Amino acid sequence: MIFDNRRCELGEGPLWHPLRQQLFWFDITAKTMLSQDQTGPRQWLFPEMVSAAGWVNADRLLIAGETGLFLFDLITETSTPLCPLEADIPTNRPNDGRADPQGGFWIGTMSKTEAPGTGAIYRYHRGEIRRLYNGISCPNAICFTPDGQTAQFTDNAHGRVMRVALDAEGWPKSDPQVFLDLAAQGRDPDGAVIAADGVLWIAEWGSSRVASYAPDGQILRAIGFDAPHTSCPAFGGPDLTTLYCTSALQGMDNSARTRHPHAGKTFAALGIAKGQTEHRVIA
């Protein structure tokens, strides 16, 4: 079903806030964060592109912007800078990101023109931001296993979902290994989330679906949505069994946009699987 009728050029970064019981997401190129609350649709316009968030407490989010990470107060609607993020590379922007079980926040960057290999993946943790991986073209699928021992991510340019072991503080302790090679299947991996049972749910750009893969890489099922470019899933709802999914109009010409009137909207599928509670960022 359609959760929100607003059409995003590049919908991304859905976050279910466990304290507010509220979904937040982004239209990256529109520099906008969207949500719904008891009063209806909400949105906030920022001076730069924003793409992903983590929750800090009931009223504050950590948000990734073009020039840095910042704290955003949902009550006063004011921003407080936290740390720079490629502020010296104006041709880049943030993309996929997610909080990890140790209280950190992973965020990927990429070229605004999709120039290959110009992005990176970073981790913010307790006041420190560290670059983890260079040469990234389009970072996505950042997510974490329920035991907190493994991170997963992809570079869309290669179509492979990678996984890497984490130490007790949440830093990578080995080289990433290939978990899924979706390029071999003709699929384009985008945003992802891992459910409470360890199953990966990943949006496959251009395939109108979110597919689930077991920890051994076996495909289990796929949930279809009425939009060609599904971009990122999130579990939410009172019992965390609703699968939300953002989508995008990006890359679709006027004819395609007319043929797919729900493209760019945000969807919800009920009773799909049990998600993890999104982790709190320690800011």
Q: Which residues are catalytic?
A: 190
Residues in Cβ contact with 261 at an 8 Å cutoff, skipping those fewer than 6 apart: none
The β-bridge partners of 23 are 16
User: Token digits for 39?
Assistant: 């009063």
Residues in Cβ contact with 76 at an 8 Å cutoff, skipping those fewer than 6 apart: none
User: How would you write the chain as a 3-class SS string?
Assistant: CEEECCCCCEEEEEEEECCCCEEEEEEHHHCEEEEEECCEEEEEECCCCEEEEEECCCCEEEEEECCEEEEEECCCCEEEEEEECCCCCCCEEEEEEEECCCCCEEEEEEECCCCCCCEEEEEEECCEEEEEEEEECCEEEEEECCCCCEEEEEECCCCEEEEEEECCCCCECCCCEEEEECHHHCCCEEEEEEECCCCEEEEECCCCEEEEECCCCCEEEEEECCCCEEEEEEEECCCCCEEEEEEECCCCCHHHHHHCCCCCCEEEECCCCCECCCCECCC
Residues in the chain, overall count = 283
